[in-house]
Amino acid sequence: MLQQISGSIDIGKLVQKFKKTTLLVVGDIMIDEFIWGTVSRISPEAPVPVVAVTHENLMLGGAANVVHNVHSLGGRVLLAGLVGDDQMGEKIKGLLAEQKIDRGGLVVEAGRPTTVKTRIIAHSQQVVRFDRESQDPISTQSQERLLDYIDTHWDKADGVIIADYGKGLIIPDLMDFIMNKKRGDGKLVAVDPKVNNFAFYTGATILTPNRYEAEAAASKEIRDEESLMEVGNQLLERFASQAILITRGEEGMVLFGRDGAVIAVPTMAKEVYDVTGAGDTVISALTLALAAGSTFPEAAVVANYAAGIVVGKVGTATVTPDELKKALVERARS
């Protein structure tokens, strides 16, 4: 039976712990390109809107956005990922440098494009998106460099985030290496999963699939509370995890714990403008809170509020400690 979340969180104390917490993020690095404009007419060439471009900007995406979210919340962060030997790869280096985020784990692979997702935005609404990427597995040389970085920096991290977007970095050998390290010291490993790679995640501390990903992993549609319970418990057993957090958009989140507790966390978004990067915020806030000493239910609440904040912003967004404090204080008063 679903339980409702209860209790309060000392967010001020938790945010102070964030500053002393280090996370290692391993995953597919991207750049989010936004082209902003207005629409006043339909093209005479085809039934599509004509966007008059007003400005453009580039933002950290994928695993780099996870890193940006951890950094924005006050946590310390290390990044192990891959970019191409191209202009967008250089842009990512520059954006990380602006945030004073260490780039020591950034591997450059010649001949491989940096993943770029370009979104056309008009009147605060996404008109279209197009992607430039490779989904081929990374080279053996790149993998060896990443494994060396992970091995060297493992003991510096209080927790690890696997940010898998299916772009070729998260492969069996790399995940086997990480899970072997985890078995050695029991370190927190949280996974933002990709459907095609579910076989790689067995033994992770917590997974954060969305509804579609959870249904795909369990080969079962979530139609009601009964089927939701079946899917969540099946994933717990399949991945031998301590917890599974299924995110369900406007229906909030549901946390399945190894102790048998199933806790519903209702959505806290007041207005939804853009869901771009919301999953990055969930895994960032959740793992940072867990690594800082929160329980799974407490961390789920923190992640839920953080996600509720970013979907109220347009574009790839992050959350600050002050925004999080304000949201949780308002919750306590309501």
Q: Does residue 280 have an active-site annotation?
A: yes
Residue 272 has pLDDT above 50, yes or no: no
Domains of the chain: 3-36+50-333 (3.40.1190.20)
Longest dimension (CA), the chain: 64
Q: Which two tokens stand for residue 197?
A: 């790679």
314-334, pLDDT tens digit by residue? Answer: 555 788 888 888 877 776 665
193-245, pLDDT tens digit by residue? Answer: 999 999 899 999 999 999 999 999 999 999 999 999 999 999 999 999 999 99
Q: What is the pTM of this model?
A: 0.91
Separation in Å, CA 138 to CA 120, 142, 166:
29, 6, 11
- Average pLDDT score, the chain: 90
Kindly report which listed range (6-20, 47-61, 122-136) carries the lowest average pLDDT score: 6-20
Percent over 70 (pLDDT), the chain: 92
The average pLDDT across 273-296 equals 85
102-147, pLDDT tens digit by residue? Answer: 999 999 999 999 999 999 999 888 899 999 999 999 999 999 999 9
Q: What is the radius of gyration, based on Cα positions, of the chain?
A: 20
The alpha carbon dihedral of 85, 89, 93, 94 has a sign of: positive
Separation in Å, CA 232 to CA 149, 151, 239, 292:
34, 32, 11, 25
Catalytic residue among 151, 173, 280, 322: 280
What integer pLDDT is reported at residue 323 of this predicted model? Answer: 86
Rounded Cα–Cα distance for residues 102 and 149 (Å): 12
Rounded Cα–Cα distance for residues 122 and 142 (Å): 39
